Amino acid sequence: MRAKRSGAFGAVLLSVFCWASAAMAQAPVDWQLGLQRAATPVKQQMESFHDLLMVIITAITIFVLGLLVYVAIRFRASANPVPSKTTHNTTIEVLWTVVPVIILVVIAVPSFRLLYFMEKAENPEMTIKATGYQWYWGYEYPDHGGLTFTANMLRDNEIKPGMKRVLETDNRVVVPVNTTVRVYTTAADVLHAWAVPSFGVKKDAVPGRLNETWFRAEREGVYYGQCSEICGTNHGFMPIAVEVVSKAAFDAWVKKAQGGDYTSPAMAAMNAPSPNQTAQVSN
Ligand SMILES: [Cu+2]
C-alpha cells in the first residue's frame, strides 16, 4: 500500500519536473494534462475558450447526472405502485428549449469571435511561406531576399542534448519575437498541414492553393509542431521547429542565411551541424 502511494507521489513529482522543463521548449511532455502553454494571443484566446467550455460541459454533466439520480430514486417502482400518467408540462418544455438555446448562444459568440481573429493577421510585419513535401517542409522568406531552405527531421543519432527526438529539424524556422508573422501554406505533392500547438496554429497545406494563417510569438524559445494531415508513410517524421529570437538576433541570422548558412542561433550555440557542415563534423 505504502509502496503504491509513494509510486504515485513520484509520478506526480516527475510530471511537475517535466512541466518545469517544458517551459524552456514548447513540446509535448510525459504525463501532460491539458494544452501546451500559450505563446501567442490566438492560443491565449483558445485557452480561455477551452476553459469556458470546460465549465459549461462540467455543469451540464453534473446537472443531468443529478436529474437521473433524482428520477431513479423518486420515481422507483417500489415507491410508486400506481404509475403517474403525466404527459405534458408546458413550463418544463419551454425551459428545456430556451435554456439550451441560451447556452448555445453563449458558446457561439466567443467561438465566432475567435474564428475571425485567427483567420487573418492584422498588419503582418513579415511573411513566411511553408511548403509541404513528402516528407519534409520547405520555407521561403519573401521579405528577406527570398531566403529558401528545407527542414528535414534529425535522425536519432543526430540528436544532441537540448533537442527533441522526432521533433527536431536540421534547419529551424527562425522568427523575431513580438512580430506578427503571416504564414502562407501550400504543398507540392499531397495534403499536409502546418501546425504548432503553442501558437494555436494548424493550417492545411494544399497542392495548388495558398492558405493563410498567422502568429505573433510573445516569448523567445523553441516551439515544436508536426505535420497534421496524414500524408503518407513518413507523415510522422516531418516535424516543425520554430525558434523565436530577439529582433537583433533575427537580423543577424538573416544576414548569415543570405550567405548560405541557415543554422539558427540556438543550434549554432549547441554546435549542431547544419546541412552544409555535416561532412566536416565527425566527432
Ligand atoms: Cu505531411
Whether the CB-CB separation of 113 and 52 falls below 8 Å is answered with: no
What's the pLDDT at 275?
A: 52
At residue 64, does pLDDT exceed 60? Answer: yes
Please list the residues that pair with 148 across neighbouring strands.
Answer: 140
- For 153, the grid coordinates are 527531421
Spatial distance between the Cα atoms of 115 and 184, rounded to a whole number of angstroms: 18
Q: How confident is the model at residue 19 (pLDDT cuts 50, 70, 90)?
A: very low
Please list the residues that pair with 176 across neighbouring strands.
Answer: 245
At residue 83, does pLDDT exceed 60? Answer: yes
Q: How far is the CA of 132 from the centre of ligand 1 (A)?
A: 6
Instruction: Determine the distance from the C-alpha atom of residue 67 to the mean position of all C-alpha atoms in its chain, rounded to a whole number.
Output: 37
Q: How many CB atoms lie within 10 A of CB 237?
A: 14
Q: How far is the CA of 197 from the centre of ligand 1 (A)?
A: 16
Tell me the pLDDT tens digit for each residue of 190-249.
999 999 999 999 999 999 999 999 999 999 999 999 999 999 999 999 999 999 999 999
What's the pLDDT at 25?
A: 62
Tell me the pLDDT tens digit for each residue of 125-174.
999 999 999 999 999 999 999 899 999 999 999 988 888 899 999 999 99
Q: How far is the CA of 190 from the centre of ligand 1 (A)?
A: 8
Q: How far is the CA of 75 from the centre of ligand 1 (A)?
A: 56
Q: Which of residues 106 and 4 earns the better pLDDT score?
A: 106
Average pLDDT, the chain: 88
- For 237, the grid coordinates are 517524421
